[in-house]
Chains A and B, each alone.
Chain A
Amino acid sequence: MVKERKAITRRDFIRGTVSTALGLALIKPDWVQKSIAERQKNSENKSLVILVRDQNVLDDELKVNKQVLTAMVERSLLELTGKKDVKQAWLSLFSPKDVVGFVPTPMMNPTHQELVEVVKESLVAIGIPEANIRNAQGKNVDLAPITALVSLPGLKAHWLTGIGTVIKNYILYSGAPRNYHYEDSAKLGEIWHLPQVAGKTRLIIVDALRPVCDKGPQFDPRYRWPYKGLLVGTDPVALDVIGLKIIQAKRDELRGEPWPISPPPICIEAADSVYKLGHSKLENIELRKIGWDKEILV
């Protein structure tokens, strides 16, 4: 719900006054305010984002090498958690008693099925029964029994919201996704505070094996390229920020001149300044890059 009709414009983005404008424009319902208060993180710590790439994860026919992908996931978990052992790394995030919901991108540049399988196999290996690992993407998913969410979105530009990756990944939980498009895409962060969602996201792995830098979500082969990466972390805002940088750099490279994402993803700024979901400023994000660095773009 918008308190005032003060329109956020291009000029707010140039002047750096978007946060102020959003703060004035967006009303936070009581349940959002309560959730923010309960989950206020220590915002002084930087958010860690791991970028892992391997040139062999896709073959010449763009098929996934699952062994290589597994190694990428494991390396990123070790880096993210600081553990020396893969099993301990997973156990630092999940318990064998968890009921885990996966939230992949289901269609139109979907999350690679191999990535979903690798994460599932990793959770089974730490003692979570297979029956307690389920797909949780969709409008009618019963989130009540789910204790832990793993967000597995595909990295893609989105013609309506600028980027359609991490923050947008839970849009179907709102029950009314169309209420979060256009100017209301600024409110996407509030979905993360829904009682059945809040606090459950333990891990986010962004599928950047073949990201989309324009025309998303509709498939357009001209703008999908084999980046062969994963972005891993727990801060949804920071992950979208780095994903956005990658997409933006690829766009500029394709055109040979600046080609800004349009519209700018207002949801990222709002997710930080209004909904306190994470860090949107680069100085508050620590990006660790592992592996193949050719054409890394960040």
Chain B
Amino acid sequence: MITYEFLQNYWWFIISLLGGLLVFLLFVQGGQSMLHSLGRTEDEKKLLVNALGRKWEYTFTTLVTFGGAFFASFPLFYSTSFGGAYWVWMIILFCFVLQAVSYEFQSKPGNIFGKGTYRAFLFINGVLGTFLLGAAVATFFTGSEFTVNKGNIVGLGDAGPVISQWQNPLHGIEALGDARNWFLGLAVLFLARTLASLFFVNRLNHDILVDRSRKFTLYNGVPFVVFFLAFLIWTLVADGYAVNPETKVVFLEPAKYLHNFLDMPLVLIVFLLGVVGVLYGIFATVFRPEYNKGIWFAGVGTVLTVTMLFLVAGYNHTAYYPSSIDLQSSLTVQNSSSSEFTLGVMSIVSLLVPFVLAYIFYAWRALEKKSLGLDDLQADEHSY
């Protein structure tokens, strides 16, 4: 029986999955953050840029679709978070705007700012884009300073006709005052770099870069694990934002997210499988000299882990976008979603997703029957 509640949970799952796919695809950003450290000669940098340049549009499109899907399914989040944490989202957007032209323009004559500038843009996108997305997602657990009152549209209150209001003038930057947000931000940054290293090991036909990428897997994998564990452990023991299923009142519950894992054993198992996948991908790549399939284990592992983290944030009577200053303003899957009708329509559209994935898989395979080397770049007229 497809009820409103089912549709709401289904869409939270879709958003979670898109979030998981997005974080996996951030390997493009991770790679961009290492252009100058992993690549030492111009040829090496060029090869890295071109390997990433064949993938960046997937990440970008996934981000856009993530935004669109979030808007369509949970418009109150779109309204509250984007309109409130204004600066965080704006900086993220600026990073991605810079990225969008940097591949296409960097090697073209007449690009005015020079190759170095466009690569610097890629670096900025690589570091800030991943870190801030991670920090923004961390606020799903740590909370933000906003109030929501849908009735305000009648304009009778003090605030005028304003549905949601951010109560901190820093408009989102204040999230950097919380170490836990830093931990997840840094974890995502180093995860992206780790995934990029694994991607290079798999994709490149260039011995020096592949060897170096293997080392970079370790250099980035270790800080990733440290920051991720710091975030995870802290979050598991911290108070979480629980919702009373009868009264819908939001309250702080000790170790709420730990309870969520325990209450939803399937989520816990998949989460752990994901973590094992990521760790296996890293370790096998670091310790087995010929092994190059780490990206697949770590990639699938990332999607699973992140998706489950999102589920823990939103399922089991939990407020997924909590307000730390006014608990009752917190957003839940129930109070922030679209109508049953809209979710139903969107669910039918979501049946197209497997078809989309199928042609993406086809295209990926068609272009990548063999790994990418410098000779391919010479043969390819569209190389960057």
Q: Do the two chains belong together in a single complex? A: no
